[in-house]
Amino acid sequence: MDCLGCMLANKYIPVNVVYENQFVCCILDHEPFNEGHVLIIPKEHFIDVDELNLETSNAVMNAAKTLSKAIKTLYKPDGITICQNGGVFNDLSHFHMHIIPRYKHQSFANFYLEEPLSNEVAKSKLVATRDELVGVINSASSPKERS
């Protein structure tokens, strides 16, 4: 398997999973813009949004709703940015969507800079962040929604 996105979504390499179902795997970004920054990655290989089948596109949006609720509960952000970079801006060569908690005092332009983020605190808390998000998601969803 040569696709990094496929390897991440199907857990062939270590990831911090916060939510998954048969279509998507949602993991913490290893270079988070803020604590709680999550990637939604389809388990099937797609490169761009216009290639997604109906089941996967619905699963992506449902995951975005679930994750947004959990992020709002835990981190009380001023807002959430949901974005997807396609074409040459897709650094995984596999469709993925970012769910990013945002705060008024931050410039989101830093997300798109080639310079390293000042995110050592968020990076050091990935396992704790994963556990917190999983707990909130599991307590807010029914058993049917978790499968």
Query: For position 37, which CATH number holds?
Result: 3.30.428.10
Q: Decide if pLDDT at 87 tops 90.
A: no
Domain that holds residue 37: 4-146
Instruction: Please give the Cα distance from 27 to 142 (Å, whole number).
Output: 20
**Is this prediction's pTM over 0.95?**
no
Beta-bridge partner residues of 83: 98
Residues 107 and 23 sit within 8 Å (Cβ to Cβ): no
Residues 22 and 10 sit within 8 Å (Cβ to Cβ): no
Average pLDDT over residues 100-110: 81
Structure tokens at 145: 């929604």
Instruction: Please give the Cα distance from 1 to 8 (Å, whole number).
Output: 11
Average pLDDT over residues 77-101: 92
For residue 15, count CB atoms less than 10 angstroms from its CB and return exposed for 0-12, middle for 13-18, buried for 19 or more: buried
Tally of domains in the chain: 1
**Residue among 132, 29, 128 at smallest CA distance from 74:** 132
Q: Decide if pLDDT at 52 tops 60.
A: yes
pLDDT score of 146: 45
